[in-house]
A and B are shown apart, each in its own frame.
Chain A
């Protein structure tokens, strides 16, 4: 079945350092979404990528969708303590089921 792998599982960074999480799908995706879940909270939608090779930015966050539409990445520049949480990618193959990656938990040390 469809699988979405996400790495790393955990990442500890010093405040001000950059952070990247990667997402790989076993099948071609029609779109990929990214979510952030703060500790004790629920996932919150960040962005959706649809086009091959698409790059979108939200302030210090940069999202990329691979040319083959099988991988994606989220890069945070100069992390802040407010970036703490778990970042999930979620892939959809065009059906009615969105598969979430296991998430990358980001720890930021001030």
Chain B
């Protein structure tokens, strides 16, 4: 089966701009989570969506937002980009925890803010 697809793979943006990242989960997975990965901070939880509803949110400013569509595809948006937003953004899809399958991560979008 196809894995989690994230687009674009690489992105360079200027400070102050906004960006939208896309994630297509594994077929049948209804939960999509987003993480920010930086060398110094590890994997930081951004938010989790299930059936188009945001069920939980991490400690990120309001500039970070997301949504999920009826086909489970998800997007995240970062407005007014700052240099510190440069990171690898990972999307992960999953079945309910009771299945024991864990998260399947996409290859990520590497965002560089200059």
Contacts and interface: CB of A to CB of B under 8 A. Distances in A.
Among A88, A95, A100, which residue has the most Cβ atoms of chain B within 10 A? A100
Contact of B103 (A30, A33, A41): A33
A98 B42 contact: no
Nearest to A1: B59
Interface of A: 1, 30-31, 33, 35, 41-48, 50, 88, 90, 92, 95-103
Interface string B84-114: 0000001010000100111111111000000
| Contact residues of B: prevailing secondary structure | strand
Contact of A97 (B56, B106, B108): B56
Contacts of B107: 41-42
A102 B56 contact: no
B103 A95 contact: no
Contacts of A96: 31, 48, 50, 55-56
Contact of A42 (B48, B50, B97, B105): B105
Contact of A95 (B31, B56, B104): B56
